[in-house]
A and B are shown apart, each in its own frame.
Chain A
Amino acid sequence: MVDSDLSDIFHQGQRQAPTLDDSLPQPRPEPSQMLDPRALRVWRINAAIGTLFIWIPAGIAVTVTYLADWLWPWMLLILIFPFLITILQVFIIPPLEWRRWRYEVSEREVDMQRGVFVTTRTLVPMSRVQHVDTQQGPILRYYGLSAVTITTAGGGHEIPGLSEEVASEVRDRIAALAGVADDV
């Protein structure tokens, strides 16, 4: 298999332009719809709550160092880690995630795109949808938001953070289209 030169294997300096295969359909355009802007706030709150799992142990560790004896360089070192995580989780990642999140409900399928470090594009054919719900936790409810979950025999998918009206519209649309496409 190693027939010609090996240079292209290790040559990855510049971005490679994607090549297309003529026997296949053209790539789908990006899904058109974005999430509700308020979803960003909810994600930040959730992330902030999540960081408590690092802040609480860190707090305990600092208390212990304080009680044991006042070694401030150690305390700084202990605190710098949760601080960085918080910046990343609350301030940097959610906006990137929100900007990436796209969805589109067409007659044949639901198309979703998400992910910061690993981008994932998911396609769920309407004919495979078993049921579709909207659900909201306390924080989503406070902001008047709702998440749409789509269940197939192969697993579940979620569109998080749509306004309540949009979410129920999306849910009803998918349910109607899935009913039409339901044949197997």
Chain B
Amino acid sequence: MSEPQRLHPAAILIMALRVSRQLVLPLMAPFVFSLLSQGLDAISPVMLFLLIGAVTLLILLSAGWGFLYWQRYTFQVVDNELHLRQGIIFRKQRTIPRERIQAIDFVEGVMHRIFGLVAVRVQTAGGNEPGFSLIGISRSNAEALRDELSLRPSQVREVEGAGLAASDDLDGTETATQAETAAESGLLRKLTPQQLLVAAATSGGIGIALPIIASGMSLVNNAMPNNDLFELATSVFGGVSWWSIALFILLAAWVLSFVGTILAHAGFTIRRSDDNLLIERGLIEKRRATVPLNRIQAIRVIDGVLRQPFGYAMIKVESAGYGEDASESSVIFPFLPRSEVAAFLNEAVPEFAWDPPEFSRPPRRAIRRYITRMTLVGLALSAIVIAIFYPLGLWALASLPFFAAFGYLCYRDAGWAISDGTMVMRYRTLARSTAIIPKRRIQSSDVTQNILQRRGSLGNINATVASGVSGATFSIMHLDKGVADQLFAWTGRGRTRLDRSHLPRQLRPQPQRDFWESTDFTSPASDSGWPK
């Protein structure tokens, strides 16, 4: 790719549609408004003339903008750097070194499918602009670009050295088709349609959908004075009552989260190609994401509230500089039997493959803290409910024992395990999370203790890793303060000096050896700060 390239010409159309989507509301609002307020009387020759003018303006503006955008936008790879020139009014030139690129996604919208294109989204680390997008180039070009940008010399070496099956026909350089073959063979898991249905039925999205549905209902209800919704609720459940409406909202929220999960996770496929995880998912909008293994900072195994009883978990990654819609992109597999998690991690992200046989837990005197905390949360929520629905809302207080029991559950699930330079932290917020954090990925750690904890000699331990634009912090509450201090001390000792994550586990140095190896600083260590 020695000379500057333009996007595919269809990008003009894509950009034009994007611009028109933004313009259509301000341009058309007056017409819609006058139609709504005056009915059909509003239609007059003058108005039709204005309407035609507005539509013409819309088309001209968006087509012109789309064309100029396409004309000004060029990209080029020179000496491992991606050079961009863009901008219609404000011209901009950007140079992105290959090392700064965190991940490359291929996004396929409906328009892209028609023309056989993809949008290439490049995620970069840090800075105010977390990434940028080439809005439409042909798939083969995109793959060439991906290969040109994401193959680092170390990765090529790894392919040869590790003796993977796919490396036999590789000579250090890789063409797009060969990379594709390697990706095909590196298939790790695919979500079957049955699993997708169960996953959608048990997804935690209901918690997000619930307030949306509830507020939507009240909006629609206000707009339609003759209580159509109540009638609908009546016909479904027979008899209008608070219970039937609540049940209706719950059902609607469940359906919404069900459909949402199907759309997002249909055909979820994860492959491993060399040092990248390739993720493909989506029903209408196909999304492809490439996550470089060496950018992964921590793994989270999430046992959702509805999934834990069935023994299924979701696997997420915390990846540095993986901005924008981090919460969705960071799922590397949505629905996996708990018993297969260790094997899956071993294949997909060997650096994080550790399933501790048992966890050390907070002391029993911490139970009171956990229970009190959740009960207070329950009280606060009850207070809100009571304030809104006064006499009936008092029933909310009946939920307090459940909050207390949930507090105990949080205590029971909290724990940690340490081995081989890796810390595993398990805690429950709503779902139970198990975070697997290599020591060398920890950006900072804290021990905290508040006044109440001081009395019981308890303390929290936090570990922060790089994730997205800022970091992600994991914490376990109410550990014995002495143990928390020890964990804190552990995060600071004997860290790996060189990145050895690409080596098989046996070849990685043991923590003790590593500690001595890494003392080759220019000035000899004479540090009183460390305990022995």
The residues of A with any CB-CB pair to B shorter than 8 Å are: 1, 8-12, 15-21, 23-29, 31-32, 104, 106-109, 111, 115, 117-125, 127-128, 130, 152-155, 157, 180-181, 183-184
The 3 closest A-B CB pairs, nearest first, are: A18-B482, A154-B443, A154-B471
CA distance A107 to B494 in the complex (A): 12
Tell me if A9 and B364 are in contact (CB < 8 A): yes
Q: Are B486 and A12 within 8 A (Cβ)?
A: no
Asked if A8 contacts B365 (CB within 8 A), the reply is yes
Given contacts A18-B483, A19-B480, A29-B531, contact A121 B471 (CB under 8 A): no
Q: List 11 A-B contacts (CB under 8 A).
A: A12-B365, A12-B368, A18-B481, A25-B490, A107-B529, A108-B492, A123-B444, A125-B442, A128-B442, A155-B470, A157-B444
Q: Which residue of B lies closest to A21 (CB)?
A: B483
Asked if A11 contacts B365 (CB within 8 A), the reply is yes
CB within 8 Å of A: which B511-532 residues? 521-523, 525, 527-532
CB distance from B227 to the nearest CB of A (A): 45
Q: Which residues of A contact B521 (CB under 8 A)?
A: 107, 180-181
A27 touches which one: B364, B449, B485 (CB < 8 A)? B485
Q: How far is the CA of A111 from the CA of B485 in the complex (A)?
A: 13
Of chain A, the residue at the smallest CB distance from B470 is A155
Contacts of A107 in B (CB 8 A): 521, 523, 525, 527, 529
A104, B527: Cα distance in complex, Å: 11
Complex: A10 Cα to B483 Cα, angstroms: 21
Expressed in whole angstroms, the minimum distance between the Cβ of A24 and any Cβ of chain B is 4
- Chain B 459-500 against A: per-residue CB contact (8 Å), 1 yes, 0 no? 000001111001111000000111101111111110101110
Tell me whether A128 and B447 are in contact (CB under 8 A): no
The CB with the most chain A CB atoms within 10 A, among B364, B458, B465, B473, is that of B364
Q: Tell me the nearest residue of chain A to B320, going by C-beta.
A: A153
New contact pairs (7) apart from A9-B364, A25-B489, A108-B529, CB-CB < 8 Å: A8-B365, A25-B490, A107-B521, A117-B450, A127-B495, A152-B444, A157-B444
Q: Is B52 interfacial (CB 8 A cutoff)?
A: no
Assess whether B125 is in contact with A153, with CB atoms less than 8 Å apart. yes
Contact A28 B485 (CB under 8 A): yes
Q: Verify A153–B443 contact, CB threshold 8 A.
A: yes
* Inter-chain contact B440/A184, CB cutoff 8 Å: yes
Partner of B444, one of A25, A115, A124: A124
Are A154 and B466 within 8 A (Cβ)? Answer: yes
Summed over the interface, the residue pairs from A and B with CB atoms below 8 Å come to a total of 170
Give CA–CA (A26, B529) in the complex, Å. 12
Q: Would you call B6 an interface residue if the criterion is a C-beta within 8 Å of the partner chain's C-beta atoms?
A: no
Q: Which B residues between 407 and 445 are near A, CB-CB below 8 angstroms?
A: 412, 418, 440, 442-445
B91 within 8 A of A: no
Cβ-neighbour of A26 out of B465, B489, B527 (below 8 A): B489
> Which among A25, A118, A121, A124 has the highest number of chain B CB atoms within 10 Å?
A25
Give the residues in chain B near A181, CB-CB below 8 Å. Answer: 497, 521
Closest to A27 in B: B485
Residue of A nearest to B448 (CB): A120
| In the complex, B367 has a CB within 8 A of chain A | yes
Tell me if A121 and B442 are in contact (CB < 8 A). Answer: no
A17 to B457, Cβ gap below 8 A? yes
Chain A residues near B528 (CB, 8 Å)?
A: 106
A124 to B495: give the CA distance in the assembly, Å: 12
Task: Choose one: B455, B470, B527; the contact of A108 (CB below 8 Å).
Answer: B527
Expressed in whole angstroms, the Cα–Cα distance for A138 and B527 within the complex equals 36
* Closest chain B CB from A54 CB (angstroms): 23
Note all chain B residues with C-beta closer than 8 A to A120: 446-448
A25 touching B457, Cβ below 8 Å: no
Q: For residue B106, give the distance in angstroms from its CB to the closest CB of chain A.
A: 26
Q: What residues of chain A lie closer than 8 Å to B487, measured between beta carbons?
A: 24
Pick from B367, B492, B498: contact of A109, CB under 8 Å: B492
* A20 x B364 contact (CB < 8 A): no
- Using a CB-CB cutoff of 8 Å, which residues 228-277 of chain B contact chain A? none
Question: Please, which residue of chain A has its CB at the minimum distance from the CB of B366?
Answer: A9
Q: Would you give the shortest CB distance from B359 to chain A, in whole angstroms? A: 12
B365, A106: Cβ atoms under 8 Å?
A: no
B195 within 8 A of A: no
Nearest CB of A to B453, in Å: 9
A11 to B482: give the CA distance in the assembly, Å.
Answer: 19
Contact of B457 (CB < 8 Å), options: A9, A15, A31, A118: A15
Known: A9-B364, A11-B365, A12-B368. A117 touches B451 (CB 8 A): yes
Residue B87 lies at the interface, judged by CB distance under 8 Å to chain A: no
Check if B450 sits within 8 Å of A155, measured CB to CB: no
